[in-house]
Structure formats: structure tokens, C-alpha cells
Amino acid sequence: MSPPPPASNPDDYQQVVKDGVVASALGSAAMVARLLLSTEPVSAGWVIRRIFAAAITAVFVGWGVAEHIQSIPLRFAAVGAAGYAAPEVLDYVLRYVKARGEKELASVKPNAKKKSAKKRR
């Protein structure tokens, strides 16, 4: 597929920028409402991590589906769904990596003690 021809009318660019700003504002308001309605205690780092995870994912998904989904509302829905799910996916990945790292450390620590005991003899 080839991209659509560039718009030659400056008003078209202004409309695209306006739509982008409105979509960003609505998405930001939804994320803030979601975080404020959360029942679990949160820290500033937790909030910032979730906001950045959602924003970065939404940007990459937006770029990725631009050529594949021609319907604008469907494209916005795909970007919104990906951004909405991104914080939970990030939390899962972080827990998985942490558990995997702790497992690796636990398997290495006993071996390190055995090696140091053998060197002492």
C-alpha cells in the first residue's frame, strides 16, 4: 500500500493537529481518571511508569497500524486498547523479569559458596 498523497492545503494540517491534540487530551484525561479511581496505594514513580508505558505503546501502535487500518475510528480504537492494556503488560513483564532474575541469583549463590569453600582447603 502506498501512503496517501500529502495535503497541500494548510487547513488540512491544522485539522490533523487539532484532532491529535483532542485525542491526546481525552486519552490523558482517561488515564488520570483511571489512576485516581484505583483502590491500591500508588507512588509517583508507579504513576509515571504507567503513563509512559501507555503513551509509548500508543505511539508505536499508532505508527504500526497507520498503513494497515484505513478506518480512522477503528485505528483510534486499536491505539486506545493497546495504550489501555500497556501498563498491565508492563507490570507483568517486570514481575516476570524480577522473578526470573531472583531464580537465577538463587541458583548461582549456592555454587559460589561451594567454590569459595573448595579454594580455602
pLDDT(1) > 80: no
Rg for the chain (alpha carbons), in Å? 23
pLDDT(3) > 70: no
Q: Taking the model in full, what pTM does it have?
A: 0.59
Contact by Cβ (8 Å): 78, 69: yes
pLDDT(117) > 60: no
CA distance 115 to 4: 65
Residue 110: its pLDDT value, please? Answer: 65
Q: Which residue has the higher pLDDT, 31 or 6?
A: 31
Kindly write down the DSSP assignment for every residue of 37-97, as one continuous string. Answer: T--S---HHHHHHHHHHHHHHHHHHHHHHTTT---HHHHHHHHHHHHHHHHHHHHHHHHHH
pLDDT in tens, 27-83: 778 777 877 787 888 888 888 888 888 888 888 888 888 888 888 888 888 888 888
